[in-house]
Amino acid sequence: MLNISNGRVRTFIIVIALLSMALALSGAFAVRAVWAAPSTTDCSSVTEIPVAECNELVAFYDDAGGNNWTNNNGWKQTNTPCSWYGVYCESGHVHTLDLPNNNLDGSLRDVNLPELTRLNLGSNHLAGNIPNFSHTLHLKTLYLYSNQFTGTIPNFSLSELERLYLEDNQLSGSLPFFSGIPNVQFLYLYSNQLTGSIPAFPTQNLLELNLSQNQLSSSIPSFDLPKLQKMDLSENNLNGEIPDFDLPELVELYLAVNHLQGPLPAFSHLSKLQDINIFSNDVDGTIPNFLLYQLLHLDLSYNQLSGPLPNLINLSHLQDLDISDNGANLTGSIPDFVLPDLVHLDLSHNALGGSLPGFTSLNDLETMDLSYNQLQGPLPDYSNANLDELNLSHNQLNTTIPDFSHITMLRSLDISYNQMVGSIPPFTYLSDLQTLDLSHNYLGNTIPDFANKANFQSIDLSYNRLEGALPWMANFSSLTTLSVAYNQLGGDLGASGVCSTPLVTTDFAYNKFDIASIDACVDNLDADWKDTQTAPPSNIHPSAISGKKIDLTWDAIPYTWDGGFYEAFASTTAGGPYTSKGNTGSKSDTAMAISGFTPGNTYYIVMNTFTPAHDDQQNALTSSYSDEHIAMMVAIDTNGNDVTLSWTPASAFEQYEVLYSADPYFQPTDAGVTSVTTSSDHWTHYGVASDAAHNYFYLMRGIYSIFANTKSNVFNRTGEFTFALTPGS
């Protein structure tokens, strides 16, 4: 019999209890270790969806390069596939696979997910053929857009399918009849390589159809699609005439960039139509006066429509009207449209004539392009307060330009290639103006001071008759493009401040700008037009040969082509007026002799350059005068044994220096040369005639400053005057 005291019994019980607790804790940890989440999925242990659907997801993952997906959270990592990224379950089945733009790669299997209603795999890299999804009969939405699928489109048998998006792939072949998807509402197949004809589509539920950017080449069927709201068949090879569709719910119709021909239907059965785009076809005939009261956008550009234009009075909500590029057949005048909601109007590249309407009813108009027509007459001072862009270029407008004081929001104005006359207005009220093109007109006088045009980015005033200097432009802090070529402009570029603007593109060609000022701007401007300036010649030297004749030499200007000549002028008064003394045969000449001078007078010689009108230059250009050059004609008088040289003083000189020597080739610094200075208008060489041993030769030059001892060139250094006197002569 075991004999244990009560105290020992209590101790034993406590020990047993502690051991039991330890075993319990140890068992708990062991159980948790057994039931930890698996590192890979075991579909046989999945309970939230059928095992077969789990296996199908795993196979789909492997086929589509799942290890490289952008997001593959949970996939093949847990036994709860309904929590995997992009998987959504309902009532114990996979309901949705939503994995767009997730770097899926490889092929797409015919997934066996019988309760799948939505499959979105758009914007991935899946390739190969598209399966027919024969195991997903409840599919309602199928997004496979923007992949690399090839082959033909399956003839799906998916009676519940409502949305089919296969656009932006490489699918080819003809379109199926789609009889197996009778409930489809959205059918997007654009941007593929589909060929053949367009089926009539038996579905009655279609809302949107987009077959654009393919190679379909049939005529367009009439379609029995009573619910269709949007149809885009643009950018194919469709031909034939446009049907007069009976599509009562149609809102948007896009047929652009095809080969459709024949007349334009009135679309009288499309009462809800808001957008019509038939851009770039071969549609001909006149434009119907549509009864489309809800129409917002009408694009009939790049066709062969003929005039006259209807007034479109029934399109009271129209916002965009583009009938451009219909060519020589679209004639007649432009109606003064009453379209109060019109925002954009483009009638360019036609043969419309007559005068411009005022468009006083187009209060919302923002852009108007009437370029490349045959419009004539005066230019209205438009009052469309919202007008932002106005293009009237390439017409026959032959009037003055108004100041456009009522269109204060205008940012772009183009009236180039017309016959505009008069002066350029300052556009005082157009403070937002950024682009101005008035080139190829007959505008004259000076360029105005665009004082409040800090927003100017581009100015083109080339091919006009503008004259004078450039206005002050240093405040044009945004100006990057400036063209004033083929005018009569001149002067110092630096004085205009243009050299400090941020110009990137310039063209000042065929003007009269000072070449030295261009050189100063070369670091700032692309001055490849420097050598086209009709500027005066430089480095001019007059030389007196005799008492009545002067030889001139100079450096020719760079611009020696396109005809023209240099002309020399003389005056007995500094600053003119000057009298012409003759001209050269060309601008390549560098010397000429001028005559008709009076001995004893001082003459002020200038030259200029002339270039006749030629080619694109409508102006005959005459440069400014060169700097003045002094030619002092010395008179010689003998009295007994004395010789007196006399001249007319020039205000530029303080004194005069006479040098003489018996050496006919002497230089002023040669030994034996005698120098005499005088402030008078004459100097007498006494007793020279009694010196039978010598002939004397004389040079004279002016002294600009006695203090600085600065002197002119000797006047006869190139033969201006040389006097050889013999004793007794």
Residue 651: pLDDT over 80: yes
Which CB contacts under 8 angstroms, 24+ apart, belong to 444-450?
446/471, 447/471, 447/484, 447/489, 448/423, 448/424, 450/426, 450/476
139-to-109, 115, 256, 345 alpha-carbon distances in Å: 15, 8, 33, 46
Cβ-proximal residues to 19 (8 Å cutoff; 6+ apart), any chain: none
CATH 3.40.50.1100 for domain 377-531: no
SS3 29: helix
Residue 307: pLDDT over 90: no
Residue 653: pLDDT over 60: yes
Domain 634-711, second-level architecture:
Sandwich (2.60)
- How many DSSP H helices and E strands does the chain contain? 3, 49
Residue 729: pLDDT over 70: no
Share of the chain above pLDDT 70, in %: 90
pLDDT (tens digit, 9 = 90+) per residue, 64-76? 999 999 999 999 9
Give residue 180's pLDDT: 96
Domains 287-375 and 534-631 share a fold: no
What average pLDDT does the structure give for the chain? 89
Give the pair of three-digit tokens for residue 560: 């020696």
Q: What is the Cα–Cα distance from 383 to 403, expressed in whole angstroms?
A: 11
Reported as a pLDDT band with limits 50, 70 and 90, residue 527 is: low
Reported as a pLDDT band with limits 50, 70 and 90, residue 725 is: very low
Q: What is the Cα–Cα distance from 590 to 606, expressed in whole angstroms?
A: 14
User: Which CATH number applies to 534-631: 2.60.40.10, 2.40.50.100, 2.40.100.10, 3.50.50.60?
Assistant: 2.60.40.10
User: Are the CB atoms for 620 and 608 separated by under 8 Å?
Assistant: no
User: Are the CB atoms for 344 and 364 separated by under 8 Å?
Assistant: no
Give residue 35's pLDDT: 34
Reported as a pLDDT band with limits 50, 70 and 90, residue 161 is: very high
pLDDT (tens digit, 9 = 90+) per residue, 133-155? 999 999 999 999 999 999 999 99
User: Are the CB atoms for 251 and 229 separated by under 8 Å?
Assistant: yes
Share of the chain above pLDDT 90, in %: 71
Q: What is the Cα–Cα distance from 115 to 683, expressed in whole angstroms?
A: 125
pLDDT (tens digit, 9 = 90+) per residue, 448-463? 998 778 899 999 999 9
Residue 17: pLDDT over 50: no
Element (H, E) at 34: helix 6-34
Domain ranges of the chain: 1-36, 287-375, 377-531, 534-631, 634-711
* Residue with the larger pLDDT of the pair 346 and 41: 346
Which CB contacts under 8 angstroms, 24+ apart, belong to 249-252?
251/275
Residue 3: pLDDT over 60: no
Kindly provide the residue ranges of all beta strands, DSSP E only, lying in 242-339, ordered along the sequence: 252-254, 259-263, 275-277, 282-286, 297-299, 304-306, 320-322
Residue 2: pLDDT over 70: no
Other CB atoms within 10 A of residue 104 CB:
26
Reported as a pLDDT band with limits 50, 70 and 90, residue 515 is: confident
Mean pLDDT of 18-30: 40
Which DSSP string corresponds to 377-393?
Answer: SPPP----TT--EEE--
Q: What angle do CA 80, 82, 87 make, to 5 degrees?
A: 135
Q: Torsion angle of alpha carbons 687, 688, 691, 696, nearest 10°?
A: 160
pTM of the entire predicted model: 0.83
Which of 543, 542, 535, 539 has the alpha carbon at shortest distance from 517?
Answer: 535
Reported as a pLDDT band with limits 50, 70 and 90, residue 690 is: low
Burial of 585 (0-12, 13-18, 19+ CB in 10 A): exposed
pLDDT (tens digit, 9 = 90+) per residue, 579-625? 999 999 999 999 999 999 988 888 999 999 999 999 989 999 999 99
DSSP single-letter state for residue 44: G
What fold characterizes domain 287-375? Answer: 3.80.10
Q: What is the Cα–Cα distance from 709 to 352, expressed in whole angstroms?
A: 75
* Residue with the larger pLDDT of the pair 4 and 52: 52
pLDDT (tens digit, 9 = 90+) per residue, 418-442? 999 999 999 999 999 999 999 999 9
Reported as a pLDDT band with limits 50, 70 and 90, residue 8 is: very low
